Structure 1
Amino acid sequence: MAAKKSTTDTSAAVPPARAAAPGDLAVRAGEDPWTEEEVAEARAGLLADAERLRTEISSAEKALSGLMRDSGDGAGDDQADTGTKNVTREHEMALATNAREVLYQTERALRRLQSGTYGLCENCGNPIGKARMQAFPRATLCVDCKQRQERRF
């Protein structure tokens, strides 16, 4: 499995303006083209998700910082206290890692939306489907390619 890119500095990760026209975005046969309103809704949802995720990451990092600071002050702790602190720290680390990955995917979707590749399968190049993109705006694979990927793992 390929290493995942970390997103520590996200200030310049998302271009400010849209380059592709809504009608240029990929749709499957039989689907209506993307409208200006649908594209605006997708963009607004992704931007809101990105902001929420940045807030979650910041909170998790603050909590982790506090847990790391307190971990050295274990005088008098029994094994259960130490174990609880370790589990809590690992849980916060997992939450922060997951939020960073979803933020990366969200910013990637915004870049794809801007470049006009939003809705195209990164594996086969076929349209993912507008309905799928509206349900899961960070999708990068069509249903067939996603199923093949999941069978491999």
Structure 2
Amino acid sequence: MTTSSTAAPRGASSTATKTTAKTAGTAAKTPTKRVASRLRVKDDESPWSEAEIAEVRQILIDEIEEHRAEVEVAERELDEVLRASGDGAGDDQADAGSKTAERAHEISVAANARAGLLQAEHALEQLEAGTYGICENCGNPIGKLRLQARPRATLCMPCQEKHARH
């Protein structure tokens, strides 16, 4: 993995990448059978199998790597936009507005990539800790089908629906 030569924007954690590398390395070493036996499921679902856990783990590791690359690209592009925009002296209103919109877009892209990375890391950490699949709002199982469709989910469907309405 290559690291970006740019400074991380405000709010970014330089330890996120280090934590991810450590977590991803640990993920491959944790016995899948032990993890599967600790995970809760809904009453009408079968327990997690070793193959299902291995598949979810690999999806999360792949997402982490993908989001790392996205963060690196977004931060590099943001740095380029910031360097190119200079101090704005002599810009007319249209140029200033265009540069502001471009900066806002690049900041948003970088923030979204970091958020996705943190969510995937959090899900992988939960998987390894045996707390994966528990709704962070109500404490009930999220459901295997939902987690297989969206491995980073942290809320069960009823809580997610309530959250989306607010």
TM-score (norm 1): 0.86
- CA–CA distance in 2 between the matches of 1:37 and 1:92? 39
User: Aligned pair in 2 of structure 1 residues 64, 148: CA closer, same or farther (>3 Å)?
Assistant: same
Q: Alpha-carbon deviation of 1:133?
A: 0.5
User: Aligned pair in 2 of structure 1 residues 25, 70: CA closer, same or farther (>3 Å)?
Assistant: same
SS at match of 2:105: helix
- CA–CA distance in 2 between the matches of 1:7 and 1:45? 23
User: Aligned pair in 2 of structure 1 residues 7, 35: CA closer, same or farther (>3 Å)?
Assistant: farther
Higher RCO, Cα 8 Å, sep 6+: 1
120, 123, 146: which one pairs with 1:106? 120
User: Aligned pair in 2 of structure 1 residues 66, 6: CA closer, same or farther (>3 Å)?
Assistant: closer
- CA–CA distance in 2 between the matches of 1:72 and 1:150? 39
The unaligned stretches of length 5 or more in structure 1 are none
User: Aligned pair in 2 of structure 1 residues 6, 117: CA closer, same or farther (>3 Å)?
Assistant: farther
140, 145, 149: which one pairs with 2:163? 149
Q: Contact conserved, 2:133 with 2:141, CA < 8 A, in 1? A: yes
Length, aligned pairs only: 148
TM-score (norm 2): 0.80
Amino acid at match of 1:116: G
The unaligned stretches of length 5 or more in structure 2 are 1-10
Q: Contact conserved, 1:50 with 1:106, CA < 8 A, in 2? A: yes
Q: Does 1:118 align with 2:125?
A: no
Which runs of at least 4 in structure 1 moved beyond 6 Å after TM superposition?
Answer: none
Comparing 14-23 with 39-48, greater Cα deviation is found at 14-23
Higher helix share: 2
**How does 1:46-125 map onto structure 2 within 5 Å?**
46-72=60-86, 74=88, 77-125=91-139
Q: Alpha-carbon deviation of 1:139?
A: 1.0
User: Aligned pair in 2 of structure 1 residues 73, 149: CA closer, same or farther (>3 Å)?
Assistant: closer
- Percent identity among equivalent residues? 47
